[in-house]
Amino acid sequence: MNNVTRNKELSWLSFNERLLQEASKKEVPLIERLKFLGIYSNNLDEFFRIKVAILRRLATIDNLVLVDGELPADILNQIEQTVVSQSKWFERIYGQLLKDLAEEDIFIINESHLTAEQGEYVTAFFKEEVRPRIMPVIIKKNQPLPSLNDDAIYLAVVMSKSKKEEYALIEVPTDLLPRFVILPSNDDKRHIILLEDVIRYELKDIFYMFSFKTINSYIVKLTRDAELDLDDDVAEGYVKILSKSLEKRGNSELVRFVHDKDIPENFLALLLKKLNFDRDDVIIGGSRIHNFKDFMGFPSIGKKHLYYKTYNPLSHPDIRQGEPFLAAIAKKDILLHFPYQSFYHFIDLLREVSIDPKVTEIKMTAYRMAKNSNVIHALINAARNGKKVTVVLELRARFNEQDNIQWGNLLTREGVKVILGVPGLKVHSKLCLISRKEEKEVINYACVGTGNFNEITSKVFSDQMLWTANPAIAKEVSKVFEFFSKNYKIGRYHHLLVSPFTMRYKMIQMIRQEILAAKNGMKAAISIKCNNLVDLEIIGKLCDAAKAGVDVCINVRGMLALLSTSVEDNYSIPSIGIIDRYLEHSRIYYFYAGGKENMYISSADLMTRNLDRRVEVTVPIYDPELKKELLGFLDLQWKDNTSARILDNGLSNQINNQGTFPLLTSQLAFYDFLQSVREE
């Protein structure tokens, strides 16, 4: 398998590099370029918390070889080299962005650049807002450090007098205060100072009781292992087990330490010793600014041309004001595309069925919900109106565990039946089932999506959701919910592909059918769009298909472990990945199937965990017009010559069809397509 695959972690770093490409593109609006740096930084933090943490655990096992034939320690070394290289590019991009901002009369300044008037403002802001929220820790050589948060940045302070030095740490309270402080201005120029530089400006005031000649500070940041040590017993007491594990996460093993490269060597050595870091660990020196993830929330200042043009979500042409949603679904299947079309259609659907006297029951899965979720509140309203409401709540949604515990408690108090996942399996499927009594029989309406039922992320995540009254599909969605209630009752599925029971087998079966067709001289084609493609068995079958002459094409946003060309086996699999204003998140699977054209949307990526260790649902698209619509969507993405990168064997990330005209940005082109359909 080594001749057709690459290491998935290194592939992920190549994906993150594509974000740096966007941040460096002059044609991307300036503030959006800053935000891409923030996304890159946020992604990298999560990569170290999860991927690197797992590799570090594996590296402790003697003679362990990964599935791609590499040693964990070797991959860790390659990761560090790649991250260091990307960090240098990151700093160059940021330096250029500062110059570009200055040309727009926007200045990010530090404590040494303040005018007298700005200094007075910063001092007042510090005394009123900042000082009450900071608690300096004096570092003693013979005392351990308190537990440090991995989601924070710290000012490492050095106070010097003659040959004596004293050290301290201050956590910058970005969880309580804005990272960016906009300074008052008497002209059109806008000045911004970072919160840590506000603190730096007042260091002498903070440590007034110490005797020192000079005082300096340096940003440091650490990253912890975020994997929870959980057994799979989702039974009584599971919430307590999870809560304890979340507490332990705050003291978990360190996996990375980043610091201002100008920090004195003796101070750095002291910190590393107290944190139990070895010189062989991931220790990265950089600029004076860290936690760039906060730049995702850079303040809204400056003119419109500094931002992406706003596109308001479209209403769906088959959803008409004054017509009941379920009546529209009964007429024909409805396929929604987010964020191009409004997610509030789904919230309005839930609001409608919560008061519909004929609706008897609502069931839904919940993975990552919005902070003040209108979806959850609509379900609560349905329960208050006498509907039987069931929510399958996955507590193990990483970094959303605490939120989901709170949602579970609220739903339970409001009379909603809450099912806390499935033992041994993470529930990642996106399902909603509505039961309505119509003319002495109960009719089921199903919603199956590729993304979370989350009105906030739906504004930036590109996803699909199918609404259908097809009795065969609705019946099988009901079987999935029955499995959630009775884990021994798996059920048979003829339409849905359900992980971990049927999806792997049926996907491989459909690939084999295309191989057979190609060998018989018939047209054969496979088109895959997903976030990650790393499962070795699926990769092997796709390569077999390409060798047999099947037209295989791959559209993957993130990790792609498949090598797209093989000189030895004489095949090529065109592969692209799109990075643009919206996060490509939908999963679409297409097989020509002798002209039948099997088309699916899914919650599942082609990863071993999705196929074997999660409950995922893949739903067929039967309506010919909807198939055509999805094929048009995929075709636009393949024609994209501004945001689509070629994912070749060397992961060069070159723009697809670069230099061709006219320029086509698939996300904007698809919005225009949906708008034209609505206006017909």
Which of the residues are catalytic?
428
In this structure, how many other beta carbons lie within 10 angstroms of the beta carbon of residue 665? 18
Q: Widest CA span of the chain, in angstroms?
A: 91
The length of the chain is 680
| Pairing of the two strands 598-602 and 587-591 | antiparallel
Residues of 353-369 as b/e, b for ≥16 C-beta within 10 angstroms? Answer: bbebeebebbbbbbbbb
Supply angle C-alpha 381, 376, 610, rounded to 5: 145
Helices (H), 208-307: 238-249, 265-274
What are the C-alpha distances in Å from 86 to residues 28, 91, 223, 256, 294? 20, 9, 18, 16, 19
480 vs 486: CA distance, rounded Å: 10
| Pairing of the two strands 441-449 and 654-655 | unpaired
Find out whether 331 and 320 touch, Cβ atoms under 8 Å. Answer: no
659 vs 642: CA distance, rounded Å: 9
Find out whether 145 and 220 touch, Cβ atoms under 8 Å. Answer: no
Phi-psi region of 45 (alpha: psi -120 to 50; beta: other; left: phi over 0): alpha
Short-list 306, 348, 309, CA closest to 329? 348
Joined together, the tokens standing for residue 573 give 């699999």
HEC-encoded secondary structure of 452-468: CCCCCHHHCEEEEEEEE
Helix (H, G, I), strand (E, B) or coil at 377: helix
What are the C-alpha distances in Å from 436 to residues 247, 320, 355, 441? 43, 20, 12, 8
Short-list 602, 672, 605, 600, CA closest to 636? 672
CA 140 remoteness from chain centre: 40
Would you list the DSSP string of 96-117? HHHHHHHHTTEEEE-GGG--HH
Task: Please tell me whether the peptide bond between 662 and the residue prior to it is cis, using omega within 30 degrees of 0.
Answer: yes
Local structure of residue 616 (DSSP, 8 states): E
323 vs 57: CA distance, rounded Å: 56
Evaluated on CA atoms 271, 273, 276, 281, the torsion sign reads: positive
Joined together, the tokens standing for residue 55 give 């590799």
In sequence order, what are the residues at sequence separation of 6 or more whose Cβ sits closer than 8 angstroms to the Cβ of residue 67? 1, 536
In sequence order, what are the residues at sequence separation of 6 or more whose Cβ sits closer than 8 angstroms to the Cβ of residue 4? 539, 540, 543, 562, 563, 566, 569
Joined together, the tokens standing for residue 71 give 């040693």
